Amino acid sequence: MSSEYRCTLEDLLIIDFETTCEENVFDHPVEIIQIGVVVLNIKDKVIQQQSFKLQREDIVFDKLVKPVVNPILSQHCIELTGIQQDSVDKADTFSVVYQHFLAWLKEHKFDERKFAFVCDGRQDMWRLAQYQFLLIKENFPAIFRQWINMNKIFQDVAKEKYLSIAGRSNLQKMSNFFEIEFEGHAHNHT
């Protein structure tokens, strides 16, 4: 018997949802307004030193979603995400964007037995995605049940240092902890 570990996963689909929000209102019924996915190929298990170019830059999903329950974005939401009202007004509803997402998975031949979603915390799957599917009166799809909580893993690695790490978002804290330059916007994929 071999002691070698074999991971059955080929890809990690790093998924992030941006939602409607109100400043300091935590019972606001959120709706997804952006779905972003980048792909990390882990099949080859090769990481180039000082480079995190496992990302498949040729395979990215990034779509805005038109909110229907709260169609007007708050000023706080616009400032936090950088997503403009006219952009979501022109976007498709969640049901349509979700069908685009399924087509994207099929187009790139992602086998759900060989990938896992990675998200910034359990909120993405257990609050945002589930609530969105409740809004459209659909069952929560089985493909979202296999996911990795990146923030929990990070907290386990950082241990007692976690609370003292500088950064406004979990991603900024991770970047600072691992001394990786943070690029982009913490609450928008574009």
Least reliable range by pLDDT among 1-5, 48-52, 133-137, 148-152: 48-52
Residue 143 sits in a domain whose CATH number is 3.30.420.10
Opening angle at CA 81, ends 76 and 87, nearest 5: 100
Q: Is the pTM of this model over 0.85?
A: no
User: Does residue 109 form part of some domain?
Assistant: yes
Q: What are the tens digits of pLDDT across the range 46-87?
A: 444 444 455 566 788 999 999 999 899 999 999 989 999 999
User: pLDDT grade, residue 36 (50/70/90)?
Assistant: very high
Half-sphere exposure of 95 (CA within 13 A, CB side): 7
- Find the range with the poorest average confidence among 3-7, 27-31, 44-48: 44-48
- What is the count of structural domains for the chain? 1
Query: What is the residue range of 28's domain?
Result: 11-157
pLDDT tops 60 at residue 45? no
Between CA 109 and CA 113, with CA 110 as vertex, the angle to 5 degrees is 130
pLDDT exceeds 80 at position 1: no
Indicate whether 27 belongs to any domain.
Answer: yes
